[in-house]
Amino acid sequence: MAKQRRSGDEVADRIIEWGITEKLETCFDRAEKMKPCPIGGSGACCSMCHMGPCRLVGKNAEESVVGVCGASLATVAARNFARMIAGGTAAHSDHSRDMVFTLLAVANGETRDFQITDVRKLYRVAGYLDIEFEGRQVNDVARDVASTLISDFGRQKGEINFARRAPKKTLERWRKWNVVPRGIDREVSEAMHRTTMGVDHDPDHILLHGLRTALADGWGGSMISTDVTDILFGTPMPVKAEASLGIFKDDEVNIVVHGHEPTLSEKIVDVVSEPEMIEYAKSRGARGINLGGMCCTANEVLMRHGIPTAGGFTNQELGVMTGLIDVLTVDVQCIMPAITELSKKFHTKIITTSEKAKIPGAVHIEYDEHRAKEVAREIVRTACDNFPNRKAKGSHITDKFPMIAGFSHEYIEYMQGGRWRGSFRPLNDAIMAGRIRGVVGLAGCDNPRVTSTGIHRYLAAELIKNDVLIVSTGCGSAACGTAGWLTPEMALENAGPGLREVCEAIGIPPILHLGACVDNSRILTIASAMAAEGGLSDEIGGMPAVGIAPEWMSEKAIAIGSYLAASGVPVIFGGESPVEASREVTRILTEVWFERFRGAMHFEPDPEKMLSLALTYIDKAREALKLKKYEPGKFGTEKVLMDMAARRDIERAAKPHVGL
């Protein structure tokens, strides 16, 4: 029997194998040694007070076992789930808060290291917020936008601003079930309160607040982060790059930015090409400076600058094991503390940069938005100084894969008709005609508990073969990118006939890299635009669209899945269910949520079943919308898509814009 691979990424797998021979421990080894606790893992452990932890297990536990206080299994499982949502929402939104404060600092002239790069996007966001922008100073508009968005974090009553960007019908459903978020921080705080010992005990009621908290992430924290990042650093448009652990260079200083917040990494991107920095690197014996990314910071700088990515979550230790990283700089989220211990076997310096996050054994150089470039230069100089210290032999494999990233929702609109005729009409038409069967958002982490990245790849390949267009984010994008699949050629070689035709006409890959995990909010914007365009559903619910997070591990993924479900997207998560122990909670997440919001959250460990569930949802949605039955290679009539040449004709005079 073939040996079970630990990673679906062949380069990664070879480094893992090398690590085993060198007795270097990674998350793959620890995942084998540390079996998940079946009680906590299925949602049946309550540790909300010190009468417990109570383990609600045994025969008929759902009916007959309660905690010391009397909490039922459904209550316990619902509380645990709601707390995961709160954790994920807090993470995305705290990141987002820092982005908005940077925008405010720019508007107030408190930092010279950042500017407003995309004024059109600023105006577009001002428009959503009913802020006057015509004839006003850019900084004044930016100040008003930042202040209004900051108020969404601390608002106590009312509705967060971006809720109004949802289709009317979707918003009505939220209002009916009282899940429109008031303020982001309020919902997180209330989720913690409701789920502490002795407060909210009705599982459905707890989970409704879980949805309100999740919506504060999707239509609040994450959406704000995406928009403000676009304003500050530019709205992405397609860019060529490379993906793989093979991006490191033997003769250059290798710096990796890892984590989530793009502010400092943007400045590192700026300073690595400064002549003084390059000279400094040369003075230490290197030929130059090579910058790469990891996890979602990678996605941010990849989308806007084409900085190569070394991959997703499970590649971080393997990066260190190449022996070539001179500095691995991290900020917040998805950083394994194991990297500091591992780095001692090599020369790699781990630098923590956030005032919120330190790791024992790491060097701390704190980021400060008011002197961002200075901090960036200090980090680059540290890397250069460390270059001559390379000693231990690592495992370096030089295979790299080309990729195209940078599909913001603005660009997706633009690519369907150019500046003057950009819309979602061609996409809706292609779905209506059955050329495109449906759309899947492939998101979430890669995970050492399975063949890491392997399930992402299996699903991506099968879905595009079935004419399903994929939009990917986070480590889902990294899983596809490190396979070499984020290219237009992927469509020619592997997509079904309808999807291939669409991709060929527009010149796009069948998997569109939408950005980091906070950029799942772009999916909400796209789905809202498709609803407004007409011909499909008039709300997000009911679209032939599904979200899949096949290898999720983070609480952030649970928050994302929940806000997609509340917005009307059926979502399928891989792995064992964190509410497996409670049939009642499982029923609420699937049947009850579907009835109320037209979205649902399934947990399904079997990749083949995930695929068939996704296709069933898509086909049922097509049927309910009375669209042409999907048959491979047989399409209805539709408007002709504009190809590149036609678009260029109407574009000639105008530089492609992406901000509006």
Q: Under the rule (CB under 6 A), what is the footprint of ligand NFS? A: 260, 295-296, 312-313, 334, 444-445, 474-475, 516-517, 554, 556-557
d(C-alpha 102, C-alpha 115), whole Å: 10
Q: Which is nearer to ligand NFS, 553 or 615 (CB)?
A: 553
Residues in Cβ contact with 196 at an 8 Å cutoff, skipping those fewer than 6 apart: 48
Q: Which is nearer to ligand NFS, 559 or 566 (CB)?
A: 559
**Residue 119: C-alpha distances to residues 225, 263, 265, 355 (Å):** 16, 18, 21, 30
**Residue 160: C-alpha distances to residues 103, 340, 532, 571 (Å):** 19, 40, 21, 24
Q: Which is nearer to ligand NFS, 236 or 444 (CB)?
A: 444
At its nearest, how many Å lie between ligand NFS and the CB of residue 553?
Answer: 7
At its nearest, how many Å lie between ligand NFS and the CB of residue 554?
Answer: 4
Q: Which residue has the tokens 């421990």?
A: 25
At its nearest, how many Å lie between ligand NFS and the CB of residue 366?
Answer: 22
Strands (E), 83-229: none
577, 589 contact by CB (below 8 A): no
Q: Which is nearer to ligand NFS, 103 or 334 (CB)?
A: 334
Q: Which is nearer to ligand NFS, 257 or 436 (CB)?
A: 257
At its nearest, how many Å lie between ligand NFS and the CB of residue 559?
Answer: 10
Q: Which of 534, 537, 602, 541 has the alpha carbon at shortest distance from 569? A: 541
CA 376 to chain centre: 25
- Two structure tokens written together for 186: 């309020």
Q: Which is nearer to ligand NFS, 299 or 577 (CB)?
A: 299
Q: Which is nearer to ligand NFS, 470 or 506 (CB)?
A: 470
377, 271 contact by CB (below 8 A): yes
Q: Which is nearer to ligand NFS, 353 or 386 (CB)?
A: 353
18, 395 contact by CB (below 8 A): yes
d(C-alpha 360, C-alpha 24), whole Å: 19
At its nearest, how many Å lie between ligand NFS and the CB of residue 313?
Answer: 4
d(C-alpha 165, C-alpha 550), whole Å: 28
Q: Which is nearer to ligand NFS, 322 or 554 (CB)?
A: 554
At its nearest, how many Å lie between ligand NFS and the CB of residue 411?
Answer: 21
At its nearest, how many Å lie between ligand NFS and the CB of residue 443?
Answer: 7
DSSP 557-605: HHHHHHHHHHHT-EEEE-SS-TTTT-HHHHHIIIIIHHHHHS-EEEE--
At its nearest, how many Å lie between ligand NFS and the CB of residue 330?
Answer: 11
Instruction: Determine whether 284 is exposed, middle or buried from the number of CB atoms within 10 Å of its CB (0-12, 13-18, 19+).
Output: middle
End-to-end CA distance of the chain: 55
- CA torsion 40-45-49-53 (nearest 10°) is -90
Tell me the sheet residues that pair with 256: 292, 328
Q: Which is nearer to ligand NFS, 73 or 557 (CB)?
A: 557
d(C-alpha 204, C-alpha 257), whole Å: 41
At its nearest, how many Å lie between ligand NFS and the CB of residue 445?
Answer: 3
Q: Which is nearer to ligand NFS, 206 or 475 (CB)?
A: 475
Q: Which residue has the tokens 């592997």?
A: 494
**DSSP 8-state assignment for residue 640:** P
At its nearest, how many Å lie between ligand NFS and the CB of residue 312?
Answer: 5
d(C-alpha 609, C-alpha 161), whole Å: 38
628, 637 contact by CB (below 8 A): no
At its nearest, how many Å lie between ligand NFS and the CB of residue 243?
Answer: 14
d(C-alpha 97, C-alpha 372), whole Å: 17
Q: Which is nearer to ligand NFS, 295 or 384 (CB)?
A: 295
At its nearest, how many Å lie between ligand NFS and the CB of residue 570?
Answer: 20
- Two structure tokens written together for 326: 């001179």
Q: Which is nearer to ligand NFS, 452 or 525 (CB)?
A: 452
Residues in Cβ contact with 460 at an 8 Å cutoff, skipping those fewer than 6 apart: 442, 470, 472, 479, 480, 483, 485, 511
**DSSP 8-state assignment for residue 296:** H
